[in-house]
């Protein structure tokens, strides 16, 4: 299961970065570096990333986020459905937050 989760994450990262222009990749990586060094808070970094992305890039990022979620859900027992009766609150998909999470973790 761990291998499938790792693969889904790696594919999302690769496909998402491939969809960004070189200039936008550079800008997004600079924002992620600032976040990782503690210079900027996560909400502010996500907003800055959102401001950098073009509408088409945002669409691709959100599609990759959903694809990764679906793959991770499929890899989990019971399709990722909680068996304890509790479920997580679903956030509104956000391209900046997803990129920040995807790129700030090794």
The answer on pLDDT for 90 being more than 70 is no
Torsion-angle region of 61 (φ positive above 0: left; ψ -120 to 50: alpha; else: beta): alpha
Q: How far is CA 29 from CA 46, 55, 72, 82, 93, in A?
A: 12, 18, 25, 34, 20
pLDDT digits (tens, 9 = 90+) for 15-64: 999 999 999 999 999 999 999 999 999 999 999 999 999 999 999 999 99
Measured CA to CA, the distance from residue 10 to residue 16 in angstroms comes to 10
């Amino acid at each position: 299961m761990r291998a499938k989760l790792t693969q889904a994450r790696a594919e999302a990262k690769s496909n998402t970065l491939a969809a960004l222009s070189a200039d936008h990749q550079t800008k997004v990586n600079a924002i992620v570096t600032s976040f990782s060094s503690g210079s900027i808070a996560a909400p502010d970094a996500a907003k800055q990333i959102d401001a950098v992305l073009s509408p088409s890039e945002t669409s691709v990022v959100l599609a990759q986020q959903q694809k990764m979620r679906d793959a991770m859900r499929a890899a989990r027992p019971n399709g990722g459905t909680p068996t304890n009766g509790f479920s997580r609150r679903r956030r509104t998909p956000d391209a900046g937050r997803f990129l920040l999470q995807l790129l700030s973790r090794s």
